[in-house]
């Protein structure tokens, strides 16, 4: 099953449960608009290379489409469609007034020079600009794209429309329209969800422990959030070691110091093994993080990590799984987690802090007035907490698993917007 078939199957199951009208379901299981285009780029050696670009706008009933642009060698239209559909549900569950979009280019960006990357970014924008804008569709960085690339794209768009328009794309660098608080946003959003889940389960965060997969953007700030905002203890983090080409778990019984680890991690999220050893960290097998006796597991590295094969070895102590990464739990593991009564915070709710702060970025761009980090994070906390409780309430009311509840909340909201606008 490819990603789009999976996204459609998930949607179909919820649509059936909601007894959604067939016509409405037909509208939602496909994107409203799709663009596929060729981008000619003059390479540094003087040759001309043509790249294939995509943009998919799944549904913009609740507001402009929102979603990243991926530069990946294995990019396909179906991956982009699936990710665009998931963005519609993510924006709806976070209750931000945006729809779902995604874009991409078939390219391995590591094979391009800096100037070739810039020409490719500008070329992508030249093909798509008429269909983008703060009131139409607002892209962002994703796999293989960076804040610098967003700044080039924003510049190209502004030249084409003749007006400086920073709010047409998010994830820009600070000083070029970027927002404070974006770096912390996703990991802190994960933390706010955990805090609310603990309130519901009557757990004292100060007496709780967590184990985390990853030590990149999301997991770094989930580690810091869990210790500094909640007062809990993180006993293990893990990461991929680029040199050894394998993953390790870094653990410390008296608690990980996230701020210290930030000083010995590189930009790809690889922790310096020797420096960690010197500081008293124990270095264990890749999957050791998953089997720790902790209250909370935070898979925040990559997809497909908790599977039918390893789910049975998760400690009985675990009460909460907070999905910081996208799709970290496979379908068969999901069934087992549900059976064990663990409160699973589904990815598109748990990691919605990133897109929520992207939304704040374009709001600030539109106002040409910028907020402090504290203000951004306070607004983020409010949004994520309300989103968490909307899903929890649905889960309790309908007696369904949190993932199904999140789908019910988001699909209901999108359907309602389409009804109000007279589309259906």
Q: Is 269 in the site for ligand NAD (CB under 6 A)?
A: yes
Among the residues of 294-401, which ranges form H helices? Answer: 331-339, 347-350, 353-367, 373-398
Least separation in angstroms between residue 34's CB and ligand NAD is: 22
Cα angle 399-403-409, degrees, rounded to a multiple of 5: 75
Q: Which CB atom, from 249 or from 395, has the smaller least distance to ligand NAD?
A: 249
In terms of CB distance, is 286 or 342 closer to ligand NAD? Answer: 286
Whose tokens are 């999140």? That residue is: 406
Among 217, 251, 362, 364, binds ligand NAD (CB under 6 A): 217
Calpha distance 276→272 (Å, rounded): 6
Of 90, 102, 172, 252, the catalytic one is: 102
CB 8 to ligand NAD: min, Å: 20
Residue whose CB is nearest to ligand NAD in the complex, by number = 216
Q: In what order do the strands lie in the sheet with 282-284?
A: 282-284, 246-251, 233-241, 209-213, 296-299, 320-322, 343-345
Core vs surface per residue 161-187: b (16+ CB within 10 A) or e:
eeeebbbbbbbbeeeebbbbbbbbbbb
Q: How far is the CB of 242 from ligand NAD (least distance, A)?
A: 8
Contact string (CB under 6 A) for ligand NAD, positions 173-212, x = contact? -------------x--------------------------
Identify whether 102 is a catalytic site residue.
yes
Binding positions for ligand NAD, 133-172, rule CB under 6 A? none
Q: Are 151 and 176 within 8 A, CB to CB?
A: yes
Binding-residue total with ligand NAD (CB under 6 A) = 23
Nearer to ligand NAD, 65 or 213 (CB): 213
Q: Which is nearer to ligand NAD, 141 or 167 (CB)?
A: 141
**Distance from C-alpha of 9 to C-alpha of 373, rounded to nearest angstrom:** 39
Select 80 or 301, whichever has its Cβ closest to ligand NAD: 301
Phi, psi of 101 (to 5 degrees): -140, 165
Burial class for 123, CB neighbours closer than 10 Å (0-12, 13-18, 19+): buried
Member of 205, 214, 232, 346 binding ligand NAD (CB under 6 A) = 214
Nearest distance from C-beta of residue 265 to ligand NAD, angstroms: 7
Considering only 123, 139, 205, 216, the residue that binds ligand NAD (CB under 6 A) is: 216
Exactly one of 351, 362, 364, 395 binds ligand NAD (CB under 6 A); that residue is: 351
- CA gap 291, 314 in Å, rounded: 5
Give every strand in the sheet of 99-106, ordered side by side: 33-42, 48-59, 99-106, 65-72, 137-141
* Residue window 311-350: x/- pattern of binding to ligand NAD, with contact defined by CB under 6 A: -------------xxx------------------------
Which H/E stretch holds residue 283? strand 282-284
Question: What contacts 123, CB < 8 A, 6 or more positions away?
Answer: 39, 40, 41, 51, 53
Q: Under rule CB under 6 A, which residues in 280-309 are in contact with ligand NAD?
A: 286, 300-302
10 binds ligand NAD (CB under 6 A): no
Of residues 121 and 306, the one with the C-beta less far from ligand NAD: 306
Which residues partner with 72 through β-bridges?
106
The contact set with ligand NAD (CB under 6 A) reads 186, 213-219, 238-240, 247, 269-270, 286, 300-302, 324-326, 351, 354
Residues with a known catalytic role: 102
């Amino acid at each position: 099953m490819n990603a789009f078939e999976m996204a459609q199957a998930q949607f179909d199951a919820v649509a059936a449960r909601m007894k959604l009208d067939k016509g409405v379901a037909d509208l939602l299981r496909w994107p409203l608009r799709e663009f596929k285009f060729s981008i000619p780029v003059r390479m540094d050696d003087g040759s001309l290379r043509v790249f294939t670009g995509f943009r998919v706008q799944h549904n913009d009933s609740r507001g402009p489409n929102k979603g990243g642009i991926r530069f990946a060698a294995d990019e396909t239209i179906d991956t982009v469609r699936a990710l665009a559909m998931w963005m519609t549900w993510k924006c709806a569950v976070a209750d931000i007034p945006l729809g779902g979009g995604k874009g991409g280019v078939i390219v391995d960006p590591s094979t391009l020079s800096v100037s070739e990357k810039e020409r490719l970014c500008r070329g992508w924008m030249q093909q798509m600009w008429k269909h983008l804008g703060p009131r139409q569709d607002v892209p962002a960085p994703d796999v293989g794209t960076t804040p610098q690339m967003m700044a080039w794209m924003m510049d190209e768009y502004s030249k084409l429309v003749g007006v400086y328009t920073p709010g047409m794309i998010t994830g820009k660098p600070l000083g070029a329209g970027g927002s404070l608080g974006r770096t912390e946003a996703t990991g802190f959003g994960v933390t706010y969800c955990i805090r609310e889940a603990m309130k519901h389960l009557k757990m004292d965060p100060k007496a709780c422990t967590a184990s985390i997969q990853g030590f990149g953007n999301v997991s770094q700030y989930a580690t810091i959030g869990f210790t500094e905002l909640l007062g809990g203890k993180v006993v293990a983090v893990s990461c991929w070691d680029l040199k050894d080409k394998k993953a390790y778990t870094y653990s410390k019984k008296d608690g990980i110091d996230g701020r210290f680890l930030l000083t010995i991690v590189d930009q790809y999220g690889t922790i310096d093994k020797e420096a960690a050893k010197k500081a008293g960290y124990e270095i264990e097998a890749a999957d050791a993080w998953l089997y720790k006796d902790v209250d909370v597991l935070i898979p925040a590295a990559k997809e497909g990590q908790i599977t039918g094969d390893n789910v049975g070895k998760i400690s009985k102590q675990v009460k909460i799984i907070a999905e910081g990464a996208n799709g970290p739990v496979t379908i068969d593991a999901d069934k087992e987690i549900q059976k064990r009564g663990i409160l699973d915070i589904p990815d598109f709710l748990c990691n919605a802090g990133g897109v929520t702060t992207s939304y704040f970025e374009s709001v600030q761009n539109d106002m040409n007035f910028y907020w402090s980090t504290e203000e951004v994070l306070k607004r983020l906390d409010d949004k994520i907490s309300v989103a968490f409780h909307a899903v929890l309430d649905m889960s309790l009311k309908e007696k369904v698993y949190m993932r199904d509840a999140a789908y019910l909340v988001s699909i209901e909201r999108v359907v309602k917007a389409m009804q109000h606008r007279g589309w259906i």
